[in-house]
Structure 1
């Protein structure tokens, strides 16, 4: 499973993905490149993602591990992907999410945009 297959990726979708990642903010990944640094060479960086995803040669980098303190004194591990990987992940989301939304059941609420467990309980109590 080390082979990726070519995939048609529109440059417009890569740009929209960048805009979404930029709006979400976030810190640098394991490569140390933050949003500002990434944007300073944006055209080249987005072309590289587009080219690799289109040719099937894109592979994500390792994530940066950060430990977040928990209220009880423990720590929760958090993996921070590189900016490049966040853009690539958003490209995938933009292609896959609409196709999946079309086949999900109306009463499916888990991990879906604009839906939550609380929405589910509100709807269920109304239907009963």
Structure 2
């Protein structure tokens, strides 16, 4: 029997499938729903695993979806197909176990075992210690993640070559316009709506912002009234 190029456990694909089932979600550019996928579930899961192991998983375009925001603007999501969500989730589960422990203790977004409620609890505790809170919003953060720096960070943390290969493909996958079906090439950013995107965005944020703030501004007081945490 021919040896697979990459040794990816089947258990990761199965666990990812269960996560996708729990989260449900809309179909991607192929129009396949989760119900349609389940009609040939075992065969579909085997194909995903087999192609991941052989290095031949090439993600289809993500489907553009525009969500109105309260300020009148739109949030642009990129919806992967059901199969690609499962493939992304399998690799994410492998990566998350190794990467999540390095993230800053005060980082709460998109992390297992952490929530917005935990962040609010910390804010409440620190309101008793500090006079001011600085609220900052990073505009279109997912859209501006630099691919080269994410890949460099993955290499730095010793990720296997198949992780780096697939993360590159997912970040570079084109977006299919919801208006005319045109494929939009992307040279930076990771699609908000992808399963693996929050982890890649957190890795980029860890080095580009969290560690920089920790190094440059932790405990730094401005006019005696503001402390940047």
Q: TM-score range by the shorter chain?
A: 0.7 to 0.9
Following TM superposition, by how much is the alpha carbon of 1:125 offset from its aligned partner in structure 2, in angstroms?
A: 5.5
Q: For residues 96-115 of structure 1, what are the structure 2 equivalents within 5 Å?
A: 96-115=95-114
- 1:31 partner SS: coil
Gaps of 5+ in 2: 131-229
For 1:41, the equivalent position in structure 2 comes to: 40
Q: Is the 8 A contact 1:109 1:120 kept in 2?
A: no
Dislocated runs of 4+, deviation >4 Å:
122-128
For residues 65-119 of structure 1, give each alpha carbon's deviation from its aligned partner in whole angstroms, at most 9, with x where no partner exists.
1212223333322211100110011101110101112333444434422324435
Moved more, 103-112 or 45-54: 103-112
What corresponds to 1:95 in structure 2? 94
* Aligned length, in residue pairs: 123
Three-state SS of the structure 2 residue aligned to 1:8 is coil
- In structure 1, runs of 5+ residues without a counterpart are 1-5
Q: CA RMSD in A?
A: 2.2
Give the distance between the partners of 1:88 and 1:62, measured in 2 at CA.
14
Between the two structures, name the one with larger relative contact order (CA 8 Å, sep ≥ 6).
1
- Normalised to the residue count of structure 2, the TM-score between the two structures is 0.48
Write the distance in 1 (CA, Å) between the matches of 2:129 and 2:112: 22
Task: Say whether the 8 Å CA contact 2:12–2:91 is kept in structure 1.
Answer: no
Distance 2:110 2:121 in 1: 12
